[in-house]
Amino acid sequence: MEIRFDNHVVVITGGFTGIGKATARQFLESGARVVACGIERPDQIRSEDNLSKEFDQAEYYELDVTKESEVQAFASYLEEKYGRCDVLFNNAGVLYANILHETPTEQWMRTIDINLNGIYFVSKYLLPLMIKQGRGAIVNTSSMSGLLADHTYSAYNASKGAVANLTRNMALDYAPHGIRVNAVAPGSIRTSMYLGFADRVGGLDVLDYGTGKVYPLGRPGLPEEVANAVLFLSSDKASFITGTNLLVDGGITAHTGAQHEWEEVRTLLQSKGTGG
C-alpha cells in the first residue's frame, strides 16, 4: 500500500528528533513538502545528527509551541509561503517523572504547556488554513499513558489523557469542514525520551531487558513504526477514520498484568545489580 503526499504541505512539531524526525523523513519520501518545527537550533541538529540527504529538502523552523505570538507568526509565514497546510502532526512533548506532591510547579506547568497547550496554539492558528481549503488531517501525539496511568508520571499522564479527549472533540467540531483529527498513542519507543527513562531504571540494558520481558512483541518500538501510523492516519486511506487514538504499543495495553510484571522485572534486576 503506497501512500503518496505529492504537493501536500505537512507541518510537524518536534520534527527534528525522535518520532517527529522519522515521520518527517517518511513524509519527504512520500513526496510531501515538510516544515519541521522545534526548539532545537537547526544547525545544531544538523551537526549533531547524521541526517540523510533527502532530509535536506525539509524546511526547518525554530518554534516554541508554548509561545502564542511565535505560533501566530509561524501561521502567517506558512500562509504567505505555502498558502496551505494539508497535514499537521502535533508531536512536540516532554516527559518528567514525579509523583504529584513532589512535582515542582514549574515542571507541572511546563508539561501541560508543551504537551497540551502547544497543541491548542498550533491547531488554533493553522486550522483556519484547513477550513479555507475545506480539507486537512491532524494527528496529535498522545501516549499509552493517555489511556492508562504509569507510576510517577502524574503531569505527563494528565497531559496525554487530555490530548486523547481533545482529539475526539476536535474530530467532532471539524468534521463538517472535511478535517479529520486522530491521535497516535505510542508505547515505549526508542528515542531520547526512552533513553532518558533508562537512567531511572539502572541503564539501557536493564530497560531493554525489562521491556522485552513485558511487551508482548518482545521489544520496544522504533520511531519509524509510529511514523507508519501517522502517515496512514494522515492519508486518504484513512478517509473514514476520525476521533481515534491509535495505539502503537507492541500490545502492552492489551495485557492486564503488564504493569505489575514490569515492576517485578525492574525490582529483580535492580536487586541483582545486573545490567540485564
The answer to whether 5 touches 85, Cβ cutoff 8 Å, is no
Site pattern 96..135 for ligand NAD (x: CB under 6 A): ------------------x---x-----------------
- By beta-carbon proximity to ligand NAD, the closer residue of 144 and 265 is 144
Per the structure block, which three cell numbers stand in for 88? 499537521
Q: How far is the CB of 15 from ligand NAD (least distance, A)?
A: 7
Count of CB atoms situated within 10 Å of the CB of 52: 10
Site size with ligand NAD, rule: CB under 6 A: 30
- In the stretch 37-76, what mask flags binding to ligand NAD with x, by CB under 6 A? -xxx----------------------xxxx----------
| DSSP structural state of residue 221 | B
**Residue 141 in 3-state DSSP?**
strand
d(CA 125, CA 18): 25
CA distance linking residue 122 with residue 102, whole number of Å = 30
CB of 177: closest distance to ligand NAD in angstroms?
25
Torsion-angle region of residue 134: left (phi > 0), alpha (psi -120 to 50) or beta?
left
Q: Is 61 a catalytic residue?
A: no
CB-nearer residue toward ligand NAD: 48 or 240: 48
Active site residues: 156
* Interacting residues with ligand NAD (CB under 6 A): 13-14, 16-20, 38-40, 63-66, 91-95, 114, 118, 141, 143, 186, 188-189, 191-194
